[in-house]
Structures are given as structure tokens and as C-alpha cells.
Homo-oligomer: A and B are copies of this chain.
Amino acid sequence: MKNFININNVKNYHKLVDDALILKKNKLKFNKKNIDITLGLIFFNPSLRTRMSTYKAAKNLGINVIQINLNNDGWKLEFEEGSIMNLNKSEHVKDAARVISQYCDIVGIRCFPELKKRKHDEKELIIESFRKYSKIPVINLESSCSHPLQALADAITIKENILLKKPKIVLSWAPHVKALPHAVANSFIKMALRLNYDITVANPKGYNLSKVITENIKIIHDQENAFENADLIYAKNWCCYDNYGQVIETEKNWIINKEKMKLTNDAKFMHCLPVRRNLVVTDEILDSSNSLILNQAENRIFSAQIVLKNIIDEI
């Protein structure tokens, strides 16, 4: 694997998931003893799970990690080609990316969308600039529009916990008070398609995801109807895509609770975390025996580790 920027970088996704599961059983098997390979983790935004799970994955492989919160620890970056840099940006990504490539062997980038202009966010300016200018493999630690490490951890979790060959999965929008990105939902859908799962999206009117993503996917605006006979409910909030970046209505009645889960086929419950309890989903669901939220978080280690391993194998 050269880069892991989105799911398209993976040739055989089934094999990737299987390899992660094998790796999980013998975490230190490929440990290279701490000298030669350095992973740089570049954060433009906060991170708890990604920061710690990727660190742990790297340590399991015996590679060095250096983290940098770029906006605070380093210099504000310019991304426009050819601009006259006389404002508040001190360094061009062209230089930063090439320089980091000399200090690291692999680089991970976290760069959330601004959620102001759709076209701007969809350009994926930050991660694509790193891809363009870095001389080293680039890993997406959640970009404007995709979060493939989360989707891979979710795939591992599904494979471990749901024994059905073609589970009926419902990705359900759930309420939130802030405008949240589409990245997790987008990557989850792409992953489900790659693994040939039966996936439906449930969301209120006005909250449809990008048509490019949901092409060929059933979208249902009646949440209860969508839940019927589901084997897995994956909850996630996202802001409007058409009315880009807006929270037109909080739709508190879309909260996921016991009554709704009863409509399912004793479905497992997933959420990528962090989750706002009792706003998005009730405590009783999050803490139920059907909840896989901690499994998902744990599998972030093996998601990162298998990606790192595959990248290292080709360096």
C-alpha cells in the first residue's frame, strides 16, 4: 500500500480486514524494535482515539512516533499555489510536506472540514497537498470528507461480532447540537459497499448525504421503518449536505433509544465515538450488551496497525 487516504487505496478490502484480525491475535509479531522507522502524526484538529490508537499501533510495530499539533506547535500553512504570502501564513504546505518527508518515513494527517463551502471541503486541500508534495506515504487520520481508519475499524468489528454473511445494516442519522462532518458516514458507506453488506441510510428530510456517496443506496426518512429487522444500527450525526454545513433542525426525536432498538432483529449498536450521551443515543443502548462501541474503539489499534504494516512492507 502506498497511501491510505481513502478506501480506494485498498485493492483487496476483504483481505485487509482478515489480516487485521490475524494481526490482533499476535500484536507484536511484526515488531521491528524501535530504530529505523518514524511515523509523524500531524494534527490540525483535536484527537483522542486516533492519537492514542495510532501511537499504540506504531509501538506494536516498534516504530517511532512524533506528534505535532501543527497550528499551535508549528506555523500556519498556506495551501494556495503561487500565492504571495504576505498575510498570516508563514509556510507553504509544499515546503512543510517536503520537509516532514525528510524527517519521517510515514505521515498521518488529521484535517477536519471547515463546513462553510462544500466545494472547498471536497477539494480535500490539506490531505491532497500532503499527498502531492510528500515523498512518503500519507495516512488519513480523518480528513474533510473521509475517515477510512474508522471505517476499517468498523469493518473489523462487524466481522468479529456479526456472523451473518450479509447483515442488514442501517446507518442512522441521530441528533446533535453542532454541525458535524460527513466523513465517518461517507467512509462507513463505502466500506459497507466494498464488503457487499446490505446497507440502508436513515435520515430526516434535508439531511441526505452527497448523492455521489449514496448512489444505489436506499435512503429512508422514517427512522422506525428503517430499523425494522436490522441486524446492526450504526448511529452518527452529520450536518446538512445540500444546505451545506447547516443544522436546520435538531430533530431530537431521532434519538436512538430502547423502543426503536426493539424494532430491530436484536441488532448490534455501533458509534464511532465521541458520542453525546442521551442526545444522540440513550445510555441504556450505549451500555447494553448489544453495544459494540468499545470494540470499535479497540479495533482502531488494529486498523492503524495493519495499514502501517502494509505501508512499511512496501517502503
Contacts and interface: CB of A to CB of B under 8 A. Distances in A.
Interface of A: 28, 31, 33-36, 38, 40, 43, 46-49, 51-53, 55-56, 59, 62, 64, 66, 68-70, 72-75, 78, 82-87, 89-92, 94-96, 98-100, 102-104, 177, 273-279, 283, 286, 293-294, 297-298, 301
B59 A69 contact: no
A98 B301 CA distance: 14
Most chain B CB atoms below 10 A, which of A70, A98, A103: A103
Contacts of A38: 55-56, 59
A156 to B, nearest CB: 13
Contact of A40 (B52, B83, B294): B52
Contacts of A33: 35
Contact of A85 (B28, B85, B278): B278
Contacts of A98: 294, 297
This chain's copy number in the assembly: 3
Contact of A95 (B51, B59, B70, B275): B275
Contact of A276 (B40, B53, B85): B85
A102 B278 contact: no
Given A47-B74, A294-B98, A66 B85 contact: no
Contacts of A75: 46, 48, 274
A95 B293 contact: yes
Contact of A103 (B52, B100, B278, B293): B52
26 contacts: A33-B35, A35-B59, A35-B62, A38-B56, A43-B73, A46-B75, A47-B74, A48-B74, A48-B75, A48-B96, A52-B100, A52-B104, A55-B64, A69-B72, A84-B278, A85-B277, A85-B279, A86-B177, A89-B276, A90-B274, A94-B277, A95-B273, A99-B294, A99-B297, A102-B297, A102-B301
A175 to B, nearest CB: 9
Contacts of A95: 273-275, 277, 286, 293
Contact of A84 (B89, B279, B297): B279
Given A73-B51, A86-B177, A294-B99, A91 B59 contact: no
